[in-house]
Amino acid sequence: MGDQKFSDHIVAIPFPGRGHINPLMNLCKIIAMAKPQVVITFVVTQEWQGFLSSDAMPENVRFGCIPNVLPSETIRSKDYPCFIRAVYTDMEAPVDRLLDAVEAPAASVIISDVLLTWALGVGNRRNIPVASFWCVSVTVFSLCFHRQLLVVNGHFDANLSEKGEEVVDYIPGVSSMLVKDLPPTFHCKSPPGLAVRSHFLGAFSAAQRAQYLLFTSIAELESPAIEALRAKHQTPIYSIGSAIPYFYSNQSCPDY
């Protein structure tokens, strides 16, 4: 980046999966092109840097690499619970070391995936504000955040053959749906699924410890769910719109 001086520094830490990395990378590109005075360090494993190296990047986006402390992306589906355990136990320390070595200026804010709960501790120890980033719908976040209501109503871990047609109409800001239409994590029975769920669900309550909560949602489409969360969250909530390609500030959407 030569001798260019930057006024602010964003450190972005995605959950290491394509469906999480791509939206956060697209958000970083949008910010980078709108704010050329901001430098962004995008934290990935060495393997993921190889996957992303051919992607065109704004000059003020750089990779921050950590070692390959996770099972390879090419085999992780063979033992997904092992992969998830590594995400929660093996990523934090190398990210911490990376922040010690990161080029100036010092990090102004961390944007981390909601699922990476340990990033909140990293930010807190360093007195760096953390923006928790959720790349799925606000509705799914709200269902996870209010999971205790599902438990109270007998719809968490429900037997779908018995309760699948019952109506879930008590989640604040969320339209009614059938139990069988809840995300699979709410009624999974397999040991691998249960192991993964135990890590994931706690992240939605932990997000309240972040300084900001970012949703890749168009506010007008999910305003009841957003406003219901705002009523319970002390954390400021921002709906940033879609974070997909062609939403960059200097491009127009192609005609289809």
| pLDDT, position 245 | 66
Kindly state the average pLDDT of the residues 9-17.
96
Residue 229 lies in a domain: yes
* Residue 211 included in any domain: yes
Q: What is the pLDDT of residues 184-222, one digit of tens each?
A: 889 887 776 777 787 788 899 899 999 999 999 888 899
Closest to 147 measured CA to CA, from 181, 173, 186:
186
In terms of Cβ atoms closer than 10 Å to its own Cβ (0-12, 13-18, 19+), residue 201 is middle
| Contact by Cβ (8 Å): 117, 206 | yes
Domains held by the chain: number? 1
Task: Identify whether 59 is part of a domain.
Answer: yes
**Six-digit token pair at 173?**
């800001």
**CATH at 213:** 3.40.50.2000
| Predicted confidence (pLDDT) per residue in 49-99, tens digit | 999 988 888 999 999 999 999 999 888 888 888 999 999 999 999 999 999
Residue 252 domain-assigned (yes or no): no
Give pLDDT tens digits for 153-189: 999 999 999 999 999 999 999 999 999 999 988 988 7
C-alpha dihedral, 113 to 117 to 122 to 127, nearest 10°: 80
Nearest CA among 154, 202, 147 for reference residue 172: 147
**Would residue 167 count as lying in a domain?**
no
Q: Say if 187 falls within a structural domain.
A: no
Residue 228 lies in a domain: yes
Q: Which domain holds residue 123?
A: 8-136+207-239
CA distance 207 to 202: 9
Q: What is the mean pLDDT of residues 30-52?
A: 93
Residue 168 included in any domain: no
